[in-house]
Amino acid sequence: DKEVINDISAPIKFKITESTDYFFSPATKRIVLTPVADPDTPLKDRFASGSVGAASLTVFCDNPAAHDALTLGREFYFDITPARN
């Protein structure tokens, strides 16, 4: 079990909506993830309840071994839990 600090913990479901390869750096891929509503998460625990397309998360992956897992349309959960200082 993970410890929840200040009673805040929010799993967010993201979908890869963009994937860009760079010719100048073949090992680097730009991945854009957009949050999507997850009907399996109770409404009180959701990061967003309705229109969730207003935000995105952009990451740059320079690990070619991970590129096969980071494909367009694939969905992932991200857990937002406060970090300890």
pLDDT for 51-65, tens place per residue?
555 678 999 999 988
User: Environment class of residue 14 by beta-carbon count within 10 Å: exposed (0-12), middle (13-18) or buried (19+)?
Assistant: buried
Please give the model's pTM, rounded to 2 decimal places: 0.71
Cβ neighbours, 10 Å, residue 53: 13
Rounded to an integer, what distance in angstroms lies between the CA atom of residue 50 and that of residue 71? 25
Q: Using the predicted structure, report yes or no on whether residue 25 has a pLDDT greater than 80.
A: yes
- Per the model's pLDDT, the better-predicted residue between 42 and 35 turns out to be 35
Cα dihedral 37→38→41→44 (10° resolution): 10
